[in-house]
Structure 1
């Protein structure tokens, strides 16, 4: 049998006859475009770098000084045995430039992989919203931290590795010997507080000392914005999270002392902890990358514009003359 031939319907799509636009830019248009991009991006890069340089930061590491006596192993065991009380210590933050209010207080963790796939997925957003969730669903979402140790019925609330490892160090600040109020209101995203965490879970305490995280939560989660901030996981292994604001100017050379209750056991995985004081600009915190990127693109565009000028106007090629083509020279 002969195969039947199916004649395809004639359309502009099947015959590729749709109207097309193929711009052919003149050398003047190319030079003008690169020049405009360079002239626009370089001032923007300067403004971004200027804003980043105006941000004042001061930080100090405290996990290596906020420890009881003894060897490193004894210090770690002491933290595990204090059942959450930790060890109190004070650190001094050196402020060399004036810090205008508001001054933001951050805690910074190094070598903590909040971006690990299993860590990020170990949570139940439905539970945090206050929805009714079955035990099977909780076990699937929050594995491996679903049930309290030694219990087959009591579910952790909220469950999951992210909530279970809740950062529980605390900070108090004095400025030249006088106590400073740390404003911790509105430190979390409004959408997180109102949409993602409206539930009122039962208070939970980390009963497994080896994990040394998971502070106590009482009442509605939205009332504990430190927890809401912690639950928004970081993209990198080194990150900082907002703890509060100081609504007082800090003059240069001021004696800023931070009283820390050191509970969070980063010694188990070799992590580091810092406390950071920082101001902010219209662009946010100190980050020169955006300004450098604008400078790089603007400078490259001006360089391309200059190269096109040299190739087209300083050494022009006559129409129809192919002697300057590289492929023709090699023949």
Structure 2
């Protein structure tokens, strides 16, 4: 019985060995490792190459023209106010002006609308030379505290704005501490225009990243005040200025949505902007601008996409013409089809 068992085991082992190294599998494995598996091998003749470049160019140029026209149809007004809103006596010392709380920061700007602006009209503030992508600045926050409030104790990532007067800060960190606090009011004729400040932040941020029962606590109560204050009676999920600001920008020049005007503005109309020039961009040589813009199916005003399509399409067309001229002047003879791999196999059989 032992002899039979051993024989059976040996037979099974021999069978397994035979299956493992079967000639069929060996040939398939060899073809795979040597990249000899059947595959599509297109022959790129000059005609195919020229036509491909030409078709791509013919498609790209009209698409670029459409994108460029859509961008040009967007009406955008930009007004820089950080210099003009400083009183004459303080223009030689802007930092002293912005830090002196006894000086009025009220300012009035007149904006003339060149073209008809169809609602909704988006209001942005634009900051320049402001590096929100700095590593220490970006890390100085606590996402779990924004969601759970004082229930979450580990806020060491918020340093140096972690505690104040021995008490935790909600929301903590440098990003919240430096909240933008300029404000704008728009007057049209004799009446003030309504600005919708709701739904300016991402819905996912409002519902999933900021707690609906988390309210500001001990915020901006230290000796050094950074930016705007928060209403301690309103949950963080409803303070959309903070939510917009907390989504940090990747570039030193960026825009953030302030509000939406939901009424049309006619051409040649003059809008009076009453603003509070509170935010300190003078310490680091920054700039502040207010932007009014419409939008369309392509978004805001940005001609780069259209110009990129046109430039790429034109380049492809020129390349196709150049290849065609070279092919006509110095045609390259085609290779003998009998030497193609699939023809060699059929001839051999």
How far did residue 80 of structure 1 move?
2.5
Aligned twin of 2:95: 76
Separation (CA, whole Å) in 1 of partners of 2:159 and 2:289 = 30
Q: How does 1:138-157 map to 2 (within 5 A)?
A: 138-139=155-156, 141-148=157-164, 151-152=165-166, 154-157=167-170
Question: 1:65-94, CA deviations, whole angstroms, 9 ceiling, x for partnerless residues?
Answer: 3235633476533532428x9611111112
Change (3 A) 1:147 1:209: closer
Separation (CA, whole Å) in 2 of partners of 1:44 and 1:309 = 24
Separation (CA, whole Å) in 2 of partners of 1:209 and 1:265 = 16
How far did residue 30 of structure 1 move?
1.2
Whether the 8 Å CA contact 1:212–1:263 is kept in 2: the answer is no
Aligned twin of 1:63: 82
Q: For residue 125 of structure 2, give the secondary structure of its aligned residue in structure 1.
A: strand
- Paired residue for 1:167, among 171, 180, 184? 180
Question: 1:155-191, CA deviations, whole angstroms, 9 ceiling, x for partnerless residues?
Answer: 1111111111111111110112321000111111111
Structure 1 residue 202 corresponds to structure 2 residue 250? no
Question: 1:164-221, CA deviations, whole angstroms, 9 ceiling, x for partnerless residues?
Answer: 1111111110112321000111111111111112342324542456553142243211
How far did residue 35 of structure 1 move?
1.7
Q: For residue 155 of structure 2, give the secondary structure of its aligned residue in structure 1.
A: helix
Aligned twin of 1:107: 125
How far did residue 123 of structure 1 move?
1.0
Whether the 8 Å CA contact 1:203–1:217 is kept in 2: the answer is no
Q: For residue 168 of structure 2, give the secondary structure of its aligned residue in structure 1.
A: coil
Aligned twin of 2:330: 315
Aligned twin of 2:65: 46
Separation (CA, whole Å) in 2 of partners of 1:125 and 1:73 = 41
Change (3 A) 1:81 1:161: same
Separation (CA, whole Å) in 1 of partners of 2:326 and 2:223 = 71
Q: Which runs of no fewer than 5 residues in structure 2 stay unpaired?
A: 1-20, 337-349
How far did residue 22 of structure 1 move?
4.1
Q: Comparing 31-40 with 21-30, which one deviates more in the overlay?
A: 21-30
Report the structure number with the largest CA radius of gyration.
2
Q: Which runs of no fewer than 5 residues in structure 1 stay unpaired?
A: 1-8, 322-331
TM-score w.r.t. the length of structure 2 is: 0.80
How far did residue 34 of structure 1 move?
1.2
How far did residue 56 of structure 1 move?
1.0
Aligned twin of 2:287: 272
Whether the 8 Å CA contact 2:64–2:310 is kept in 1: the answer is yes
Aligned twin of 2:199: 186
Question: 1:25-78, CA deviations, whole angstroms, 9 ceiling, x for partnerless residues?
Answer: 122221221122112111110011001101111121112132356334765335
Separation (CA, whole Å) in 2 of partners of 1:232 and 1:193 = 12
Aligned twin of 2:18: none
Q: How does 1:215-230 map to 2 (within 5 A)?
A: 215-218=229-232, 219-230=234-245
How far did residue 308 of structure 1 move?
2.0
Change (3 A) 1:264 1:143: same
More helix per residue = 2
Root-mean-square deviation over aligned CA pairs? 2.5
Change (3 A) 1:49 1:59: same
Q: Comparing 25-34 with 294-303, which one deviates more in the overlay?
A: 25-34
Aligned twin of 1:238: 253
Q: For residue 63 of structure 1, give the secondary structure of its aligned residue in structure 2.
A: coil
Equivalences, count: 308
TM-score w.r.t. the length of structure 1 is: 0.84
Q: For residue 41 of structure 1, give the secondary structure of its aligned residue in structure 2.
A: helix
Aligned twin of 1:3: none
